[in-house]
Structure 1
Amino acid sequence: MAASSSKSLTSLSGTYKLNKTLCTIPITSILALQGTSYIIRNAIAAASVTLEISQPNSNEYHVKQTASAAAIPGTSEQYHLDNVWGFQEIEGERRWVQSVKVWNKEGEEARGKMVYDFMKDG
């Protein structure tokens, strides 16, 4: 689902789900560059990823990222937003987008966008 026009960098609170079909880089490519095994890469690729963003004030963002797959218990991590994030029009709809650049010690790199669908207000 697209984010409403009321969502902006000063009103991000809500739940977002990773839309793998709109991402320009597969998560498996990122994990391969990081040396993750084939089996683990594909297990992670099958998981559903959601972000719960809370914004206590206009300059501070807290993110809880959860990944879960079928009957396998999910994992969560919390962090502060410090990457290149923002809203962007993708296929005619406003989406929450993270620009990523990943590289390994051999100098191989991958760049792309991780695109999230808006799920609900926080």
Structure 2
Amino acid sequence: AWLAQQLKAHASREVVYRRDASEVVVAAVIGRTLLQLDDGYGGVRIERTDRDYLIQAAELVLDGVTITPRRGDRIVDATDTPPRVYEVMSYGGEGAWRPSDPFGKLLRIHAKQVGET
């Protein structure tokens, strides 16, 4: 919990988390994940996510309901130049998100850039 608070206070930026017509402004720390994926031929291929957003689970509240991320949700990052839109998506067998701490209070959400605002 302490580390999540420090990251939010000193290393985060505001982004808009959007699902359909609902959205919420949340504090997010930017990251990336390096994944080792089975290539289907007995080998391994390495893939890197475009961007990960580390967001406190308690901040993901849409229309009064706490949500978990799902594929197809959008993250608008106006801090980028130009502002960019990212789509939550899974990479390989990783899924679209995973807990980033032992308590599930901080979520690591995988996203791919899909456009600009």
Shared fold, TM over 0.5: no
TM-score (normalised: structure 2): 0.29
- State the structure with bigger RCO (CA 8 A, min sep 6), 1 or 2: 1
